[in-house]
């Protein structure tokens, strides 16, 4: 028996695409423990689709529900709830420049008044150690590598114990070894019930681990529910992309 979807999209099309889109709409339902991956050529609107799916951008048509709440009718309290349960990390994420890693990680939890200061600091340190035992938690962001900064952003989102993470190109800042380590960490979280919606250019990873794969193009969007389904797709644009 399926539970209430964490994110549900009904016939959506993003409003902020940088090109005229006359293609089909998108339906999806994100369940606990699923990975939904968006792939497609550059300039196909992947980020707009992702942001629309989680309510960051408005839809030109259709509607989005977060935790069962239609975003068209959500009030400030509803949005606060959604932000604690669905963590969004954009490609151009930012950290507080004057705060060290621990302070950055506890920031969102303190804003939402979750836990006391000592508990939050302990939890932040634990998350950072899990993500990168070599990371100096006392360093300011400017002295961390970009991949380490991203791990701080991941830890900050996980501090709120979200039901889902929405990630725009999460592995872009990593070399092959550190990328594999982060992928393994996130897959372990998924096995524990976390859901992930992500843009990824790592096709083997997407094919191996995604519950659904969404292929975006300037003329259409297609959803596949298995690795074999997208491999067998007879759409030339999809075949060319997978074989490039």
Q: How many domains does the chain have?
A: 1
Cα distances from 53 to residues 64, 107, 108, in angstroms, run 7, 25, 22
Is position 2 within any domain? no
Does residue 168 belong to any structural domain of this protein?
yes
Q: Is 133 exposed, middle or buried (0-12, 13-18, 19+ CB in 10 A)?
A: exposed
Whether 220 is in a domain gets the answer yes
Residue 35 has pLDDT above 70, yes or no: yes
Structure tokens at 142: 């400017």
Q: Is residue 188 a part of any domain in this protein?
A: yes
Q: Is residue 128, in this structure, part of any structural domain at all?
A: yes
Q: Is the pLDDT of residue 192 over 60?
A: yes
Q: Report the pLDDT value the prediction gives residue 72, as an integer from 0 to 100.
A: 96
pTM for the complete prediction? 0.95
Question: In the predicted model, is pLDDT for residue 2 greater than 70?
Answer: no
In the chain, pLDDT over 70 holds for what percent of residues?
99
What does the pLDDT average to over 115-135? 93
Q: What percent of the chain has pLDDT above 90?
A: 93
- Is 148 inside any structural domain? yes
Report the pLDDT value the prediction gives residue 7, as an integer from 0 to 100. 99
Assign residue 176 the CATH number of its domain. 3.40.50.300
CA distances from 85 to 1, 32, 120, 134, 142 (A): 22, 12, 17, 29, 29
Query: Which residue range(s) make up the domain with 166?
Result: 31-243
User: Is residue 11 included in any domain, yes or no?
Assistant: no
Question: Left, alpha or beta for 89 (phi > 0: left; psi -120 to 50: alpha)?
Answer: beta
Residue 240's pLDDT is 96
Q: Give the residue-averaged pLDDT of 4-14.
A: 98
Q: With respect to residue 127, please indicate whether it lies within any of the assigned structural domains.
A: yes
How far apart are alpha carbons 182 and 174 in whole angstroms?
A: 9
Give, in order, the Cα–Cα distances in Å from 126 to each of 60, 177, 222, 239: 42, 22, 39, 43
């Amino acid at each position: 028996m399926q539970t209430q979807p964490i994110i549900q999209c009904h016939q959506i099309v993003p409003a902020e695409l940088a090109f005229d889109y006359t293609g089909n709409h998108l339906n999806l339902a994100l369940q606990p423990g699923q990975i939904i991956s968006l792939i497609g050529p550059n300039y196909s609107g992947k980020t707009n689709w992702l942001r629309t799916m989680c309510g960051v951008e408005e839809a030109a048509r259709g509607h989005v529900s977060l935790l069962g709440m239609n975003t068209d009718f959500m009030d400030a309290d509803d949005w606060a709830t959604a932000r604690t349960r669905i963590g969004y990390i954009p490609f151009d994420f930012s950290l507080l420049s004057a705060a060290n890693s621990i302070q950055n990680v506890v920031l969102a939890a303190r804003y939402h008044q979750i836990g006391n200061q000592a508990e939050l600091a302990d939890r932040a340190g634990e998350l950072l150690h899990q993500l990168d035992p070599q990371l100096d938690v006392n360093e300011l962001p400017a002295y961390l590598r970009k991949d380490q900064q991203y791990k701080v952003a991941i830890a900050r989102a996980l501090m709120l114990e979200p039901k889902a993470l929405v990630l725009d190109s999460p592995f872009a800042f990593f070399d092959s070894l550190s990328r594999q380590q982060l992928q393994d960490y996130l897959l372990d979280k998924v096995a524990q019930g976390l859901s992930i919606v992500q843009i990824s250019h790592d096709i083997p990873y997407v094919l191996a681990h995604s519950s659904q794969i969404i292929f975006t193009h300037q003329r259409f969007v297609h959803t596949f529910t298995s690795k074999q389904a997208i491999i067998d797709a007879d759409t030339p644009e999809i075949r060319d992309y997978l074989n490039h």
